[in-house]
Amino acid sequence: MTSVRVVDAAAVTAMGDTCDALWDGLLAGRTAIRPVRRFAVERYGAGIAACIEDLTSGPGCSLLHALLERLWARFGPVPGDTVLLTATTKGGIDNLERAARGAPAEPGDVLLSGMIEAVAGRFDLTGGINVSAACASSTIALGRGAALIRAGRAESVLVVCADLVTEFVFSGFSALQALSPEPCRPFDRERHGLSLGEGAAALLLMREDRARREGRAEWGTILGWGIANDAQHITAPARDACGLIRAARRALEMAGVTDRIAAYGAHGTGTVYNDCMELTALRALFGARRLPIYGVKGAIGHTLGAAGGIEAVIGLLCLRAGVIPPTVGFRNPEPGAEGLVSAAPAALAGDAILLGNAGFGGINAALVLGCGGYG
């Protein structure tokens, strides 16, 4: 069976512009969730988010371009025959805000195809496909990219994901009464909701034989993936976790490494329904086995369509270091999270990680990541 390798990766978050800055911040238990200064927040249910505070753009340009430029500063060359997949929920939606206020705004930035054009132009690639599947967007894009390689339809796939904190998005989550007035606290019984964040990630996937032949880096392997929809509610996950269970079970069956899974990288939004749903899914998948759980949204916020890609980069860093980061904000365990979620880093006791993401509309996606090394 064709092995799918991750041969390059980069991430930009409110924790910093590099993977090292992100990893160091996570291990130190820091949070990048701070008061929002980009727009007025007095009318909303919260005033904090994990924004990249010095992110700026030219007149009429979306901040998305500036975010992607930071990403390229730490990302290597891309082969010309690479298939491009992008992932975002709202793309350059900040330009819709500008246009509504009569300010200069490039209309192409508002379209999701604008992100494809920006990335394809940067690497001289021919077109691409954007995945916009709520907060599971980039997890699905990674699974789709891996499937193209395993099916022999591509040898190299570039997955790029990004989303911004904009007033448009912030006001929507405020209207849902989903925003926490303090940095979110995944799996903590005293949580008050989620915190938004922004960021981007890029991952270059390649067939193992080509990666070895070209002497590519050994970031890790995508071993399995799964996608499912629970069709329960427009914003809430199914209480019985049927969608996430189905997606994760498919990923685990494909990977064939269930007994080697060392940890679960949670979606972990810090909302009651999401956190309980994930705990329910893990009990169904692993039974009495007490699998360590970690979540990063208390540190970098919920980056929406970019969450899965950023969390995949973090998962690869976990496997490389043999450690999972603390869950920032976790102090008083949700029932069922006792001894599984920790406010301190923990050593990995295996060479594979299961990642899960869930989104509005009942969308669920899962990935299984394995260690690097060309056997």
Catalytic residues: 135, 267, 302
Question: What are the residues whose beta carbons fall under 8 Å from the beta carbon of 184, sequence distance 6 or more?
Answer: 33, 191, 192, 193, 194, 195, 269, 270, 297, 298, 301, 302, 329
Q: What angle do CA 15, 19, 90 make, to 5 degrees?
A: 65
Chain length of the chain: 375
SS3 assignment, position 168: helix
Sheet containing strand 156-163, strands side by side: 129-131, 83-87, 156-163, 199-207, 4-13, 220-229, 363-370, 352-359, 261-265, 293-294
Q: Are 59 and 41 in contact (CB under 8 A)?
A: no
What are the two backbone dihedrals, phi and then psi, of residue 265, each rounded to the nearest 5 degrees?
Answer: -85, 105
- Residues whose CB falls within 8 Å of the CB of residue 332, separated by 6 or more in sequence, listed in order: 188, 189, 190
Burial of 300 (0-12, 13-18, 19+ CB in 10 A): buried
